Structure 1
Amino acid sequence: MSSVTSNSSMRSAYRATIGLRRGFKSFRYTSKPTVVPANPFDPRDDAAVLRKAMKGFGTDEKSIIKVLTRRSNEQRLRIAFEFKTLYGKDLVSDLKSETSGRFEDLLVALMTPLPQFYAKELHDATAGIGTDEDVLIEVMCTMSNHEIQVIKQAYTAMYGTFLEDDLRGDTSGNFKRLMTSLCVGNRSEDFHVDQERAREDARSLLQAGELRLGTDESIFNAVLCSRSFQQLAAVFQEYHYLTGHDIDDAIKSEFSGDIEKAMRAIVKVVRNKPLFFAERLHKSMKGLGTNDRQLIRIMVTRCEVDLGDIADMFQNKYGETLQSWIEGDCSGHYKKCLLSLLGVAYA
């Protein structure tokens, strides 16, 4: 991922990251981050520590990890700004030259402004042959309106195209329509729950699915993409009252493939967003091999939001700690950096 190359672009990235993080704070359900802004914070001192860690023969990975995993994304961008001011060098370029492999990937992710990070993940998911629908689902189904707007702006600035156009060009059918609706970023954000409207929506979903031959996908799309998360929780409850079974069961019976996965993801996020990410972390490390890109993406983007809650949900569901899974599935400085993001003291 390219680093911020000019002072003006660094300032723009800093402001955009602040904006995206504010979006997280406005719409998250829990508040147990594992990384919080350092206080006191001196970006020039941190820049000097990082310069010393990479100067001369050998690299002091321990110092790099201690600085970069104990600062917020906003603070890391300020450190990069001071690093260039003091030494006339790009911090990300130096980190890439001094590290390698998954550890390098993780450090670069930590040093990337959040809007740019999400934009690149979405771009890479649609570029080239094939589409990584799981990435599209993870990002588009979990974001607030504000977050989507900031990511769209970053996407156009980086790639010269519109995110909606690229999503539409790389998906099809009902899944394309759902992604398009989510990309508009026009979900209601009214915290008030209208119980009567919830009952009406529940009846509409029932009539569009289980009570007819075939499925009217447009009704599901309209409800799931336009109602607030609080309102959707009430809709799902009313659906259960009407039918005696869960909306998730109805979606499984009425849909298949990517559209099913996306709609079920929205249901999970409405009910328990930390559990949604806990399940994705488990999947990234389950079985042979590791989906390191997914692991890095979740650890980096959620550590300042709700990674503590995600870790709690992970242990509740799987009977083992997220720490133990990372320790068993990763190695070296990559493992130590991930654990530090989780809040585990660096040994």
Structure 2
Amino acid sequence: MSYPGYPPSGGYPAFPGYPPTGQESVYPPAGQYSYPPVPGGYPPAGGGTYPAAPPSAGYPGAAGYPALGGYPAPGGYPGAPQAGGMPPYPGAPTGPGFGVPPTGPGFGGYTQTPAQSYAGGGPAQISGYPGGQAPSPMPGPPAAMVQCTQGTIQAAPNFDAGRDAEILRKAMKGFGTDEQAIINVVANRSSDQRQKIKAAFKTMYGKDLIKDLKSELSGNVEELILALFMPSTYYDAWSLRHAMKGAGTQERVLIEILCTRTNQEIREIVNCYKSEFGRDIEQDIRADTSGHFERLLISMCQGNRDENQTVDYQKAQEDAQRLYQAGEGKLGTDESCFNMVLASRSFPQLKATVEAYSKIANRDLLSSIDREFSGNVERGLKAILQCALNRPAFFAERLYYSMKGAGTDDSTLIRIIVTRSEIDLVQIKQMFTQMYQKTLATMIASDTSGDYRRLLLAIVGQ
């Protein structure tokens, strides 16, 4: 079995399956069976080496040959991008949520998500980093690390508020309700687009969309859809009001909102609370809470946290020493010192303080707060630190415990899914899988049912 002109004297190195058993080392003519693997044919007779794989062919080469010695990758990072992405820096943790493909012209440097804040480090668990010390960040200025966040809901292209209003009207008109049609609209429109649908509905039909939805829906699916139609600032203010309204206080709701929002978001929430409910949020907090927890929440309400992204490592060292002397290094605890540092420093600054503290105290700051505080003030301080270290991990943990065990805390589940759906729910999902070895969608599917389940899964995305 031979082909004209093949093999030239010296032959070729054998590929699997070639030559057929018992026959001389030959290859089919060019053009058959995907040979030769690269333009230009086989290497010269007598051996030689294959040319390095071109970047467009991937690495290893698409035809299966080694790119000897590698090839220079765009942007100069080690290795080449693969179909599933590449580790963003040497030694980066692997698994769900990691291996994000590089972005930008020429891949310009490393990409880092909140899930990848530390090289080799896992999520900021409630007890802190393993071994009591956060691993050191990768060399290079923090400003060069790009923290990308992404929501599962994006603004719909070719959006038509009137068309969507008509779809919702038809879904609710007559006998019965077409819940799937409602889900298809609300789960695939941004919050801003939903406000426009609400306005178009009133213009077109002279009716209030929210009242119509309330009359057609009930239970958790009603709460979820109404939450989706609230502007984000109003929804936060509404959640805070309901957490303090009537007998008892839902302190975890106050912590979740006031300890995680940006300065601008907090100021807008405080103003909205006043304009929509005619109440002063500080007065309501003072009436419903007390002691160090009250003072922490009042500090949060000011919306005056330093938001400078540049880290002052000398100040981090001083703050770490101050916190150690206020807690582990003395009998009793100076709570006001913890309040001052955690309420006023920027999140990147707090991250540096956590690292400095672990070297001074030989334990991580989260563990020290565990030992020095209890109750709601402990939960509030830890929420601030967890957001500084890894915000998606904080929300992943809250979601997990809203569904763990008997029953479901539906209000917490709804609130976090809705409020993070356009911000960082993609990263929260990744952290959830990494922390609990199951997907968020799997846990939602096993804990909910009916239209409520369908809508939640549509927002979360499969």
The answer on whether the counterparts of 1:229 and 1:270 sit within 8 Å (CA) in structure 2 is yes
- 1:163 corresponds to which letter in structure 2? I
In the alignment, structure 1 residue 54 sits paired with structure 2 residue 172: yes
Distance in 2, matches of 1:218 and 1:29, equals 31
SS at match of 1:142: coil
Q: Measure how far apart 1:191 and its partner are.
A: 0.7
The answer on whether the counterparts of 1:141 and 1:262 sit within 8 Å (CA) in structure 2 is yes
- 1:326 corresponds to which letter in structure 2? I
Partner of 1:260: 378
Q: Measure how far apart 1:32 and its partner are.
A: 2.2
2:302 to 148, 162, 184: 184
Q: Deviations over 1:242-284 (max 9, x none)?
A: 1221001111111111111111111111111111011111111
- 2:415 corresponds to which letter in structure 1? R
Partner of 2:455: 337
Partner of 1:64: 182
Q: Measure how far apart 1:39 and its partner are.
A: 1.1
Q: Which runs of 5+ in 2 are unaligned?
A: 1-145
In the alignment, structure 1 residue 93 sits paired with structure 2 residue 211: yes
Q: Measure how far apart 1:59 and its partner are.
A: 1.0
Q: Measure how far apart 1:297 and its partner are.
A: 0.2
In the alignment, structure 1 residue 114 sits paired with structure 2 residue 235: no
Distance in 2, matches of 1:29 and 1:144, equals 16
Partner of 2:258: 140
Distance in 2, matches of 1:29 and 1:71, equals 25
Q: Which runs of 5+ in 1 are unaligned?
A: 1-27
Task: Give runs of aligned pairs for residues 198-213 of structure 1, distance below 5 A.
Answer: 198-213=316-331
1:45 to 163, 167, 180: 163
Q: Measure how far apart 1:213 and its partner are.
A: 1.2
Distance in 2, matches of 1:299 and 1:57, equals 31
Q: Deviations over 1:55-108 (max 9, x none)?
A: 111111111001001001110000000000000000111111111111111111
Partner of 1:13: none
Partner of 1:314: 432
Partner of 1:152: 270
- 2:404 corresponds to which letter in structure 1? K
| Runs of 4+ more than 3 Å apart | none
Distance in 2, matches of 1:201 and 1:95, equals 52
Q: Measure how far apart 1:116 and its partner are.
A: 1.3
2:332 to 186, 206, 214: 214
Partner of 1:5: none
In the alignment, structure 1 residue 282 sits paired with structure 2 residue 400: yes
Q: Deviations over 1:22-76 (max 9, x none)?
A: xxxxxx9541210001111110111111111111111111110010010011100
Partner of 2:196: 78
Partner of 1:102: 220
SS at match of 1:34: coil
Instruction: Report which of the two has the higher share of helix.
Output: 1
Distance in 1, matches of 2:190 and 2:324, equals 45
Distance in 2, matches of 1:30 and 1:218, equals 34
The answer on whether the counterparts of 1:29 and 1:273 sit within 8 Å (CA) in structure 2 is no
Distance in 2, matches of 1:163 and 1:183, equals 8
Distance in 1, matches of 2:265 and 2:283, equals 18
TM-score after normalising by structure 1: 0.90
Q: Between Structure 1 and Structure 2, whose CA radius of gyration is higher?
A: 2
Percent of aligned pairs sharing the same letter:
50
Partner of 1:272: 390
Flag the structure with more relative contact order, 1 or 2, with Cα contacts below 8 A and sequence separation at least 6: 1
Question: RMSD over aligned Cα, in angstroms?
Answer: 1.0
